Structure 1
Amino acid sequence: MSASTTVPATPPTGTTTPRPAAEANAAARPPRRRVTGVAVTAWVLGLLFCFPALWMVLTSFHAESDAATNPPSFAASLTLDGYRTFFGGGGGPTPWPPLVNSLTASFFSTVLVLLLALPAAYALSIRRVRKWTDVLFFFLSTKMLPVVAGLLPIYLFARNTGLLDNIWLLVLLYTSMNLPIAVWMMQSFLSDVPVSIIEAAQVDGARLPTVLGRVVAPVAAPGIAATALICFIFSWNELLFARVLTGVVASTAPVHLTTFVTSQGLFLAQLCAASVVVSLPVLAAGYAAQDKLVQGLSLGAVK
């Protein structure tokens, strides 16, 4: 008998031999040099983006003579004179009324926006009304008009109704200004809420306020938090309406910052110190809600 030989099987023409998983992952993994280059580029761009803010913080600890030098001095001595002046240490105006006014207008306008935007987004995403896309376009079209174009009629209305230099006028204006943005954002967030849990709540006898407050709101909490934070930032930073429609009583923090630009010159160190203090509430709110903000902004991005 002749010894039999085993001939290895060859794969059919047009097919490839499967490679081990480790080799496939190694081939799909980008080169280490490329990843390192992308990381370094991202860090450089991030530092360049943050450099103006870091420079503002550093300038706030300089004296006025050192802050006004050209080119700027990095090794200048540090001082707290800018912060002392901002808080009225040198006999200047106190910043607390403008800060309280900004907090009042931003907080109450954000609450009103959420109360109005949640039912509107519910009607446009879950219980969709007829021609809901046209409704969304109408909300978007309200942001196409430049703000300065509507300033004169708003000023005349406020003057004739005695609402000039009134903080509640700013609350209404900020609410109307942020409501279209809030409806657009929350509509996309509420579209990911499962309809089954809403139907189950309705079968148990829950009415619309209960469904919105106890079913929809907890599920869409990250999106609501992201919307609230953005509306709060927009209200806190608004300057045009506050500058024209307020005077002494209802002046806000951004308006107070303009007082450091006088006919005597630009007090750069004091302005930087004031800008740092005015930015702290927004930074604190963003830091406190950063987890909800990331979840809300990424909600619905991956299906």
Structure 2
Amino acid sequence: MARAVTTQRKVTNTVIAWGVGLLIFFPILWTILTSFKTEAQAISDPPLFLFFDWTLENYAIVQERSDYMRFLWNSVIIAGGSTVLGLVVAVPAAWSMAFVPSRRTKDVLLWMLSTKMLPAVGVLYPIYLIFIRLGLLDTRGGLVIVIMLINLPIIVWMLYTYFREIPGEILEAARMDGAGLREEILYVLTPMAVPGIASTLLLNFILAWNEAFWTLNLTAATSAPLTAFIASYSSPEGLFYAKLSAASTMAIAPILVLGWFSQKQLVRGLTFGAVK
């Protein structure tokens, strides 16, 4: 029987939730507002919140100085390619861990998770040398592979969790009907785990889109994504906050729109299997 929740409790929880949400969103809001200020207003003391001279000059300068569409296209290819490639590798791996019993499954999962605890700079030098030797430096293909490998533990963990919620009897029934391994994964397992797979895709696309360390160190100009586009506005002459905010707003706008329209699917996937 569900517990009764008082109106006062609902109001309190709502106020707290909105407060936390606004606190988290405030840096993004401040960046967007700063992008419409002049450089003098961006560094004014006390700070100007809404009452300032709104201008689109920063966006015009950013557009003139940089080829925004090239950076955007590189980000789409790198984030999308690494996410799809990671899914291709992770689905069979998660299936094996979820439906082929082994005493080492948890050990393998913990080992995979432990690789996320390694500082990225600790493996930068060997990966940099490998990229030079293989001719992958400043290429989108090289970044797709590296970012896929970085996020692969998260993809496998999430898919493993979702697959574990699917009854094994369904897969056994499919095998009795003559389904092979390929048909079992493509036509039985994958459709049943669509909410979980979708949320995994969305989350890892966002992580790949925001990846800065590897994109800044393994690219120069040809395959540089939006993270390099933002970093280019930090110059030896100093930080131009208004122009930097405009570049940041242009970089985060696509992923904000994607997150807004896919938030229901993301929440549904992240809670998939929570209640039986």
The alignment's TM-score, normalised by the length of structure 2, stands at 0.93
- In structure 1, the partner of 2:136 is 163
Aligned positions of 1:288-299 closer than 5 A: 288-299=261-272
Pairing 1:154–2:127 present:
yes
Q: Which has the greater radius of gyration?
A: 1
Instruction: Tell me, yes or no, if structure 1 residue 131 matches structure 2 residue 131.
Output: no
Q: Does 1:50 align with 2:25?
A: yes
Unaligned runs of 5+ in 1: 1-23
Q: Which residue of the other structure, out of 73, 79, 95, is the alignment partner of 1:122?
A: 95
CA distance in 1, matches of 2:232, 2:238: 11
What amino acid sits opposite 1:63 in the alignment? T
Alignment of 1:1-303 (within 5 A): 29-74=4-49, 75-88=51-64, 92-303=65-276
Higher mean C-alpha displacement, 178-187 vs 191-200: 191-200
Shift of 1:274: 1.5
Instruction: Determine the C-alpha separation between the residues in 2 that align with 1:41 and 1:134.
Output: 39
Measure how far apart 1:105 and its partner are. Answer: 0.8
Kindly provide the amino acid, as one letter, of the partner of residue 55 in structure 2.
T
Structure of higher RCO (CA pairs closer than 8 Å, 6+ residues apart): 2
* Structure having the larger proportion of residues in helix: 2
TM-superposed CA distance for 1:130, in Å, is 4.8
Change in CA separation of 1:43 and 1:291 when aligned onto 2, cut-off 3 Å:
closer
Q: Return structure 1 stretches of 4+ with deviation > 6 angstroms.
A: none
- Structure 1 residue 112: Cα displacement: 0.6
Distance 1:46 1:95 in 2: 30
Shift of 1:34: 4.1
Cα deviation, residue 290, structure 1:
2.2
Q: Identity of aligned pairs, percent?
A: 40
Residue deviations 1:123-164 (CA, integer Å, cap 9, x gap): 111233452122212212222211110001111111222221
Task: Quote the Cα distance in structure 1 between the aligned partners of 2:15 and 2:101.
Answer: 47
Q: CA RMSD in A?
A: 1.9
| Alpha-carbon distance in 2 for matches of 1:246, 1:70 | 37
The 1-side partners of 2:177 and 2:136 are apart by 47
**Are the aligned partners of 1:221 and 1:292 in contact in 2 as well (CA < 8 Å)?**
no
- Determine the C-alpha separation between the residues in 2 that align with 1:275 and 1:116: 32
Letter of the structure 1 residue corresponding to residue 58 of structure 2:
G
Q: Kindly tell me the number of residue pairs found equivalent between the two proteins.
A: 275
Deviation, 1:231, is 1.2
